[in-house]
């Protein structure tokens, strides 16, 4: 009697009713919990930058994409420089296909990431880094009694830094021989830029010179930047 009572083989409808109620509760819990778990686990957010490397001030297109994007979701674009913390740059509602496009201009090496938020979930993409090569210009003026004037600009600014100017003499069939190296400090220019200026008194008549200016790599620049200008 005890065995049959426990297994439900006797005892009438009441015992089958209890098993039915328990099964119903289990199914209800599954239906409630599975959407919440699966939504957070299946939503995947990616961010792509084009191009991934630009000259300072260049335009970059950042495309955010969400797989299994919830309705009513919003993208938030964040950026971070070589130092500092993540900062919100812009927001955009996700399209029906779960995408958003952000157009930015970048002056320094910058990392970007995008966060997707909805009433059900918050998902953040992996960071992408946009590399920036500094924009360096050089101007050489004709020799005067004060020497040859050499000046230029660097974007973005690097006040307190230095540029290295190399002067080479063309001797035969455009073969050059270095005759001077100048280290010139950078000072504040207009906006986010620095300027430099100096002179050189070693120029000789009827001789062609090649002037090269270089700025070293910093945390803000993607490698050394070089600009050239020939002077007769």
* Residue 190 CA neighbour count, 13 Å, CB half: 2
Query: In sequence order, what DSSP letters do the residues of 114-153 get, joined into one string?
Result: EEEE-SS-EEEPPPEEEEEE-EEEEEEPPPBTTBEEEEEE
Query: Is a pLDDT exceeding 50 seen at residue 2?
Result: no
Instruction: For residue 171, give Cα distances in angstroms to 50, 206, 207.
Output: 44, 11, 8
Using alpha carbons, select from 47, 33, 44, 34 the residue that is nearest to residue 110.
47
Which pLDDT score is estimated for 143?
A: 82
Which pLDDT score is estimated for 50?
A: 97
Which pLDDT score is estimated for 39?
A: 40
Chain segment 86-125, per-residue pLDDT in tens: 999 999 999 988 999 999 999 999 999 999 998 888 999 9
Percent of the chain predicted with pLDDT > 70: 81
Confidence of residue 73 (pLDDT cuts 50, 70, 90): very high
Confidence of residue 166 (pLDDT cuts 50, 70, 90): very high
Chain segment 8-57, per-residue pLDDT in tens: 444 444 555 665 555 556 555 544 444 443 444 477 999 999 999 999 99
As to burial, measured by CB atoms within 10 angstroms (0-12 exposed, 13-18 middle, 19+ buried), residue 229 is: middle
Q: What is the mean pLDDT of residues 211-223?
A: 85
Chain segment 117-164, per-residue pLDDT in tens: 988 889 999 999 999 988 899 999 888 777 899 999 999 999 999 999
Using alpha carbons, select from 219, 111, 108 the residue that is nearest to residue 154.
108
Q: What is the mean pLDDT of residues 66-86?
A: 90
Instruction: For residue 206, give Cα distances in angstroms to 30, 171, 232.
Output: 89, 11, 7
Which pLDDT score is estimated for 142?
A: 83
Which pLDDT score is estimated for 195?
A: 97
Which pLDDT score is estimated for 180?
A: 95
d(CA 93, CA 57): 26
d(CA 72, CA 94): 7
Neighbours of 136 (CB within 10 A): 22
pTM (global) more than 0.95:
no
Rounded to 5 degrees, φ, ψ at 141 are -100, 155
Which pLDDT score is estimated for 32?
A: 46
d(CA 223, CA 221): 6
Q: Residue 28 corresponds to which tokens in the numbers above?
A: 């209800």
More confident position, 163 or 1? 163
Which pLDDT score is estimated for 31?
A: 46
């Amino acid at each position: 009697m005890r065995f049959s009572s426990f297994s439900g083989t006797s005892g009438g409808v009441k015992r089958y009713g209890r098993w039915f109620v328990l099964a119903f509760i289990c199914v209800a819990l599954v239906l409630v919990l599975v959407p919440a778990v699966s939504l957070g686990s299946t939503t995947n957010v990616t961010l792509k930058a084009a191009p991934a490397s630009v000259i300072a001030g260049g335009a970059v297109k950042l495309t955010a994409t969400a797989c299994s994007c919830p309705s009513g979701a919003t993208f938030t674009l964040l950026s971070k420089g070589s130092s500092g913390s993540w900062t919100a740059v812009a927001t955009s509602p996700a399209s029906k296909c779960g995408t958003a496009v952000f157009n930015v201009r970048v002056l320094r090496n910058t990392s970007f990431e995008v966060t997707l938020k909805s009433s059900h979930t918050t998902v953040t993409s992996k960071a992408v880094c946009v590399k920036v090569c500094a924009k360096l210009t050089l101007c050489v003026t004709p020799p005067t009694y004060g020497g040859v004037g050499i000046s230029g600009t660097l974007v973005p600014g690097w006040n307190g830094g230095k540029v290295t100017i190399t002067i080479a003499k063309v001797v035969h069939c455009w073969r050059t021989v270095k005759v001077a190296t100048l280290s010139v400090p950078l000072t504040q220019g207009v906006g986010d830029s620095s300027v430099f200026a100096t002179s050189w008194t070693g120029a000789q008549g009827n001789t062609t010179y090649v002037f090269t200016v270089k700025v070293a790599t910093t945390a803000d620049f993607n490698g050394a930047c070089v600009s050239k200008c020939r002077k007769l």
